[in-house]
Chains A and B, each alone.
Chain A
Amino acid sequence: MMRALLRTIRVHMGLSMARPMFQFIIWASPLFLATIAIFIYSSRSPEDIFHYVILGSGFMALWSSIVFSSASDINRERYYGTLEIIFVSPVPFFIVLIGKIIGNTIWGFLSMVISFIYLVFLFGVHITIPNPMVFFLCTLFVLLALTVFSFFLSLAFTLSRQAEALMNFIEYPIYLICGFMFPVSILPIWVQPISYLLPPTWAIELLRAVSTNEFSINMIEKSLIGLVVVTMIYMVLGIFCYRAVEKKARISGKLGVY
């Protein structure tokens, strides 16, 4: 099982990168977004620049890799006519799916790192992380939470006929609602509950909390618990969606069509 997962990650990373659009999302788009963000935030404090430019543009890169790949990978297999073959192969379908998502998340994370290096070396942005070990552990947890969210999105999109249009639509609204480049607190009060239903909001708040100068464990408690709770919710929703997709395949026989 582990071998199948690792192989899927490897093959999928290669397949994703073969698409020119994915190359743009991973290599070029984060640099454009980071440059726009640094120009906008040029007069703000180094801490604001780290929180809203480095983390913000990094999260945008990560989110784009999720939206334009993980969320649409099943649909892509459906378009190629290979979905049924993957589904009936001896390796469980969810292993293949998780492998694809991990592959995309690794690319998204690399893209985040590239944008980080670009800002540090080209624009001389100062990095202040009081506790690098905690920051690293939180980053790992954030990646895990986003993998779970991608798993749900990928399956939910498989069930929707409008997947492609939705895929093109949910990029900027998530940047906005999840407060990638500004605090969620500036959004209208009725939008904020929606923000906190989405894992990226908690994820970026956790990384901001862990990288503030006056960092203490109490400061990350709220965002850490929030992220754990929403991740659990999306894990349950993901399992429901997986069963629905399975039913569609085995009972309705409509996996390859809508």
Chain B
Amino acid sequence: MEATLRFFRHSLLSYRALFGWLNPKVYILVMVLNPLSQLLFFAVLVNYVYDGKGLVGYIGANALILCVMSSVFGIMTIITSDRYMGTLQLVMASPANKIGLFLSRSIAHILNGLFTSMIGLIFGILIFQIKIPIEAILPLLSVWLVSIFSACGLGLIIGCFCLWTPSMNLIANLLASSLLLLSGANYPQSIMPTWLTYVADFIPLTRGVELTKQILNERNYENVVPILGQEFLLGVTFFIISLLFIKYAEYLSRIKGTMDLD
């Protein structure tokens, strides 16, 4: 019980350490208003181009994509902020279980991503006067939770790159743009070239976006369980890879002593 409590306490502390020092105005601008303006832009665009066809699904898909702020940029800070403040060495040298440590730090970002996506959806519902059936809410939340978990897994892998490269902003922005492009949030997947759809299959959020469109546009819940299972497996794989990366970085830092160096 104590271990579980410690897990969640660490998650909360790590999150507060990240945003506690920030001005709430900055938090609202970056984590709420900026994602909402992105959603509004794409929603107006697809509404104009597709003449309102499938708008509910596109708004839902774009709301899900907003989680990128947490699942890429937020989760990256799990490693980068410690490194920047010079405390990464202490964290790595501590006897604490690293897998539990990094997983607990990820929890807050997964929940924050879910919160941003939900705010986005509510905003879209209010602005575009669309309706979502009550029975769709639970499946939608499950789809989003698993998709954001998977995206956070990939975000953590990218976060590990800070141990080897100083160009983290570049890499994080590349990933965020790739997720927006490959997930098909603003067009049917069938428009993309076949080779690109193969790449998209290995990217988080692609399945989440597809399921969101199916749930909201077609009221189709049949694919939720099998596709969500695939997304969960993808997420678990990403987390395993990221933890292996951290282990490798830890090993390198022991033999080269370069954990805090570029």
Q: Do A28 and B38 have beta carbons less than 8 Å apart?
A: no
- Taking CB atoms and an 8 Å cut-off, the chain A residues in 157-179 that contact chain B are 162, 165-166, 168-169, 171-173, 175-176
Contact B29 A166 (CB under 8 A): yes
Q: Which A residues fall within an 8 A CB radius of B?
A: 20-21, 23-24, 28-29, 32, 35-36, 39-42, 44, 162, 165-166, 168-169, 171-173, 175-176, 181-183, 186-187
Cβ-based interface call for B181 (8 A): yes
Select A20's contact among B25, B41, B167, B178, beta carbons within 8 Å: B167
Question: Known interface pairs A39-B192, A169-B37. Does A44 touch B49 (Cβ–Cβ under 8 Å)?
Answer: yes
The smallest beta-carbon distance between A14 and chain B, in angstroms, is 17
- Determine if B225 is an interface residue (Cβ-Cβ < 8 Å): no
Q: Please report the number of residue pairs spanning A and B whose Cβ atoms sit closer than 8 angstroms.
A: 79
Interface size on B, as a range, is 20 to 34
Q: Give the interface of B toward A (CB within 8 A).
A: 23, 25-26, 29-30, 33-34, 37-38, 40-41, 44-46, 48-49, 166-167, 169-170, 173-174, 177-178, 180-181, 186-187, 191-192
Top 8 A-B residue pairs of the complex, sorted by shortest distance between their CB atoms: A20-B170, A172-B37, A20-B167, A32-B177, A176-B41, A39-B187, A182-B48, A165-B29
Min distance, Cβ B152 to any Cβ of chain A, angstroms: 21
B170 engages A165 (CB within 8 Å): no
Where chain A touches its partner, the secondary structure class is: helix
B170 contact from A23, A172, A183, Cβ within 8 A: A23
User: Once the chains are docked, how many angstroms separate the CA of A1 from the CA of B170?
Assistant: 36
Given contacts A20-B170, A21-B173, A40-B46, contact A35 B29 (CB under 8 A): no
A32 touches B169 (CB 8 A): no
